[in-house]
Chain A
């Protein structure tokens, strides 16, 4: 597994570059607040909206808090949101898709019709509605974002499962009388892990963007906590008078999304090529 990952990273310069860039953002998010002398919640009445300087690397925000620390704390929250939401979507999407693919028949039809039905909903608008109705609960937000993004995954997993269902080794396992859940765990899931990793890589940017959209409407993470979405949408409100409030968090956000999209794309190509090679050899 680790070898595969390393092979992938070495596969092209672009992948190496994107991996390195992503890694540095993650490292900054983890260690940045520790290295910086500033506390993310301390307000400096003498340096409100101060431009970047040697002491405040990214400048300060509207109430004099260090923007570098805020941005890195925001990174932690944005990553957490993304990871929780994607986990929720994995938890729903994989069993759903696998079950539909394995059981087949009418059940499969019905389950996929439900997916089609939910696919039609403007998911993010439902999230808005939920947040408006039931208050700004962070966990509600994470869960709701996850709950609307499992559909693609369920389709991918079902497709893969269908492909595998009639494969020789599954037939063999079934003839040995192994239970469905055992077949799922031991044979199906390991085979669909590749597409799932690709999906996850591409889903994280989606969730981060969705969170920023919700923050733009003022429904996202609540102060004093922050996220990239909150920082960016606040930044757009002051982009003329203090552009650094938009530029720094915005750049971090854009870099991360670009890295993840690029990596996801390349990983898909890489996995595709590998399977083709194997099949042909």
Chain B
């Protein structure tokens, strides 16, 4: 088991390094400079700017400096947000995005698992068909449509929630729901499959015949096995969530790093894009690592496989 964890850790570290390197060189390949403002700029001023940001050094030197700083946890200055360092910006935006993502994930798990369990208990029933149809419809309505509609209905017409900003917990309700809906549909499908499969297992049938109460059977005998596939889904789900936060932060005007990412990419703010990508990669790798380890603990086959 320890070997398995070390292997995973090593793999995550290598992946991280490769991602960082690829993104660094990719961004330097990009046409156009970071100082293209709306107004004109004489060459001497452009030269001043380039020197101020080390952009006049050879690429390898820039890369070396970048790595040195990264090791110290310093993501450098932002090219466009002149009054903040990338660290400052991420420190301000990450809590917002993380709160949003976590709230959405919890909500998606609660909704998705409830629907999945209810549907998976009686696969093939009318109730199952209805729930699955609803979840398929959820999947068919893109967040870019659902989110603005929700603002119109719940913020503008009903005035239940604010239409934008991140000042209070209240501000996070609508965006997390918008984000949780498609995710919960996925979770419901996975949960339903797991439940349907596990309900055929002998020990569950035994439990039923013993006349144990249904909630107890579900909780004790079915869930632990039925939710295993869900754990392996959580890795990719993080990537889905990240994409979702980008939309939600745009529509609901939330000051999170997803919004920075888009703005920075559009403005060619190299250092900020890189910083956010690094944070994303780090978050996804860490969460995947945790999922892998959890999976390794739950599923003994993996332990065997890793030794073989």
Asked if the two chains touch in their complex, CB atoms less than 8 Å apart, one says yes
Q: Does A213 contact B (CB under 8 A)?
A: yes
Q: Kindly specify which of B52-60, B139-147, B223-231, B296-304 makes contact with the partner chain.
A: B139-147
Task: Determine which of A121, A205, A240, A261 lies in contact with B281 in the assembled complex, contact meaning CB atoms within 8 Å.
Answer: A121
Nearest chain A CB to B145 CB, angstrom units: 6
B265 partner residues in chain A, CB cutoff 8 A:
128-129, 132
Nearest chain A CB to B283 CB, angstrom units: 10
A19 partner residues in chain B, CB cutoff 8 A:
none
Q: Does B198 contact A (CB under 8 A)?
A: no
Nearest chain A CB to B257 CB, angstrom units: 11
* A222-236 CB contacts (< 8 Å) to partner B: 232-233, 236
B277-289 near A? 1/0 per residue, CB < 8 Å: 1001100110010
Q: Is the CB of B284 within 8 A of A213?
A: no
Q: Is the CB of B142 within 8 A of A213?
A: yes
Q: Is the CB of A257 within 8 A of B139?
A: yes
Q: Complex Cα distance A47/B64, Å?
A: 60
Nearest chain A CB to B7 CB, angstrom units: 10
Q: Complex Cα distance A232/B189, Å?
A: 27
Q: Complex Cα distance A134/B250, Å?
A: 23
Nearest chain B CB to A254 CB, angstrom units: 4
Q: Does A216 contact B (CB under 8 A)?
A: yes
Q: Is the CB of A122 within 8 A of B145?
A: no
* A157-210 CB contacts (< 8 Å) to partner B: 205, 209
Nearest chain B CB to A163 CB, angstrom units: 15
**With A119-B235, A120-B281, A236-B144 as given contacts, are A258 and B29 in contact (CB-CB < 8 Å)?**
no
**With A232-B142, A236-B145, A250-B145 as given contacts, are A120 and B266 in contact (CB-CB < 8 Å)?**
no
Task: Determine which of A232, A233, A254 lies in contact with B140 in the assembled complex, contact meaning CB atoms within 8 Å.
Answer: A254
Q: Is the CB of A239 within 8 A of B149?
A: yes
Q: Which residue of A lies closest to B185 (CB)?
A: A261
**Which of A217, A233, A239, A265 counts the most chain B CB atoms within 10 A?**
A217
B33 partner residues in chain A, CB cutoff 8 A:
none
A132 partner residues in chain B, CB cutoff 8 A:
30, 265-266, 268
A113-132 near B? 1/0 per residue, CB < 8 Å: 10011011111110011001
Q: Does B136 contact A (CB under 8 A)?
A: yes
Q: Complex Cα distance A187/B102, Å?
A: 46
Q: Is the CB of A113 within 8 A of B144?
A: no
**With A205-B139, A250-B145 as given contacts, are A124 and B247 in contact (CB-CB < 8 Å)?**
no
Nearest chain B CB to A116 CB, angstrom units: 7
Q: Does A77 contact B (CB under 8 A)?
A: no
Q: Does A262 contact B (CB under 8 A)?
A: yes
Q: Is the CB of B148 within 8 A of A236?
A: yes
Q: Does A212 contact B (CB under 8 A)?
A: yes
Q: Does B152 contact A (CB under 8 A)?
A: yes
Q: Complex Cα distance A119/B148, Å?
A: 29
B113 partner residues in chain A, CB cutoff 8 A:
none
Q: Does B21 contact A (CB under 8 A)?
A: no
Q: Which residue of A lies closest to B18 (CB)?
A: A117
Q: Does A133 contact B (CB under 8 A)?
A: yes
Q: Complex Cα distance A216/B258, Å?
A: 14
B277 partner residues in chain A, CB cutoff 8 A:
125, 129
**With A116-B11, A122-B239, A129-B265 as given contacts, are A261 and B136 in contact (CB-CB < 8 Å)?**
yes
Nearest chain B CB to A185 CB, angstrom units: 29
Q: Complex Cα distance A265/B144, Å?
A: 24
Q: A125-B280, A258-B139 are in contact. List 6 more A-B contacts (CB 8 A).
A: A113-B11, A125-B261, A213-B243, A239-B148, A254-B140, A265-B136
Question: Nearest 3 pairs between A and B by C-beta?
Answer: A133-B30, A257-B140, A258-B140
Chosen A-B contacts, 14 in total, with CB atoms closer than 8 Å, are: A117-B19, A120-B284, A120-B288, A121-B284, A128-B262, A133-B27, A133-B29, A232-B144, A250-B145, A253-B140, A254-B137, A258-B137, A258-B139, A262-B136
Chain B residues at the A interface, C-beta cutoff of 8 Å: 11, 15, 18-19, 26-27, 29-31, 129, 132-133, 136-137, 139-145, 148-149, 152, 189, 235-236, 239, 242-243, 246-247, 250, 261-262, 265-266, 268, 273, 277, 280-281, 284-285, 288
